[in-house]
Structure 1
Amino acid sequence: MPENRSTDMAFSMTIDGCAVSGASTYEVMNPATGRCVARAPQYGREQVDDGAAAARAAFPAWAELTVEHRSRFLAAMADAVDPHADKLTDLVIHEQGKPGSAARQEVAGLPWWLR
């Protein structure tokens, strides 16, 4: 991925199932190069409080699910990550400045832990 490619991507946070934009943005810098690789939304206390409230509201229904049912949700998340491993690896390289081998290992770990 070219160094500036992710700056064209739009990022948001999901709160209670809805995409939420920040009031402003900030630069995400690659610490290995010092270059801006993206602009990320800046969230404030209100969005954090809204996210925490949504999580608290969702928790009772999640807690009522059986372990087997919850594990199916986590496995589906892992299955969604797998086909995007190369793109996610590129994002980790550029966002964190990690070498490719370390980034690949980190991305490969996500579906492993979810399963």
Structure 2
Amino acid sequence: MFRRTFWFTAGAAAGVWATTKVNRKLKQLTPESLAARGVDKAIEAGHRVKDFALDVRAGMLQREDELNDALGLTAGDGQDGARPDNVRALPAQRRLRAIEPHQNHRPKFSYNRNEDH
């Protein structure tokens, strides 16, 4: 009789345990739960990308300082943002020739593929 009671109790406990596990899994697979988990993962990935970008930016600034020091381009006179005398200003960026609004602009080259054939 003691054996039957033991196995009955063990079977009931295993059934309760298995039912609990199955119900937890089913709750994890509901659309709301999957959406919430997806949002959490996306936010986590966004934070990782942001941290990576900040690390890259810090590395770029550090390397830029190292290169400026190696080339002697640092402003050693204590003025922040001042350019040393031995560095020339970069030339202004070339501007494209503006087209007057009243002129008809036609491309120099024809874009018709069949014209040459």
Q: TM-score range by the shorter chain?
A: under 0.3
**Which structure dedicates a bigger proportion of its chain to strand?**
1
Greater Rg by CA = 2
Q: How high is the TM-score relative to the length of structure 2?
A: 0.24
